[in-house]
Amino acid sequence: MYENLSGGWRQSRGRLRGGGRGGGGGGVPSERTASCLLLTLIIGVCCVHALEMSTGKVPFLEAVNGSTVLLPCTYASCIGITNLYFKWEFNDNGTMQKVADSVIPTDHVEPNKVNIYRERVEYVGSSKENNISILLWNVTFEDVGDYVCFGKNPKEKGKNHSAIFTLYVVEELREVDNTLTIMIASCVGGFIAFLMAFMLLKNFTLFVLAKIEEKNKECLVTSSGIENTENGLSGSKSTPKKA
């Protein structure tokens, strides 16, 4: 009975040890698995942001009628480009009108030809700077609206990217009323000037008081010396001479 129990105990312990070894082998991921997961994550993040089109931090402009304006657009890709197709379109009350388009063969290589489909438009981009901006000459009120900068990189298997730049045209630029700004600046400047004058006056007053106190100390020392001298002289005169 004891041997059976002992054997059973030994058998159970063996199963537990075996299970512990199996669980440890399957539960702890190897360094190889971790490296694969990290690489997959990096590739996934890169693919999400593979191509990015940008029209600047301020994607709008207010221009005077008859002036020339720059419609900016740049692109960036962490996986590189091959035959990047880009185009500019104008949103004319819901109807997209093509303004310009071309294909950039690869990184830092200029497109062979940029097709222009609208008057008063000039391509001024540079592939060396990832720039596909255009100029719009002699703008009119008909040019007001949204301009879409579009890009498509075949490396991304059909994904499209775009950015919008909005143009406003006015007869003349509005004058900004700076009255409040001038008043605030004047108040701040006056306060600073008053504070500086107060500090100068304070320092000058302290300097004068220090000089007066120093002079008074010198007078006291001089007076004490004179008194001591006079007392000494009077004492010497009153001393009787011995016969």
What's the CA gap between 223 and 29, in Å, rounded? Answer: 96
Residues of the chain with pLDDT under 70: 1-30, 34-49, 175-177, 221, 223-243
pLDDT tens by residue, 39-83: 555 555 444 557 999 999 999 999 999 999 999 999 999 999 999
| Per-residue confidence (pLDDT) for residue 125, from 0 to 100 | 97
Angle in degrees, CA 8, 9, 13, rounded to 5: 115
Angstrom distances, CA of residue 238 to CA of 26, 184, 201, 235: 120, 81, 56, 5
Q: Are 70 and 147 in contact (CB under 8 A)?
A: no
| Per-residue confidence (pLDDT) for residue 20, from 0 to 100 | 42
| pTM of the model as a whole | 0.57
| Per-residue confidence (pLDDT) for residue 241, from 0 to 100 | 52
| Per-residue confidence (pLDDT) for residue 180, from 0 to 100 | 77
| Per-residue confidence (pLDDT) for residue 5, from 0 to 100 | 43
Which H or E element spans position 156?
none
Q: Are 202 and 196 in contact (CB under 8 A)?
A: no
Provide, for the chain, the percentages of residues in helix, strand and coil under a 3-state DSSP scheme, each rounded to the nearest 5.
45, 30, 25
DSSP state of 120: T
| Per-residue confidence (pLDDT) for residue 236, from 0 to 100 | 52
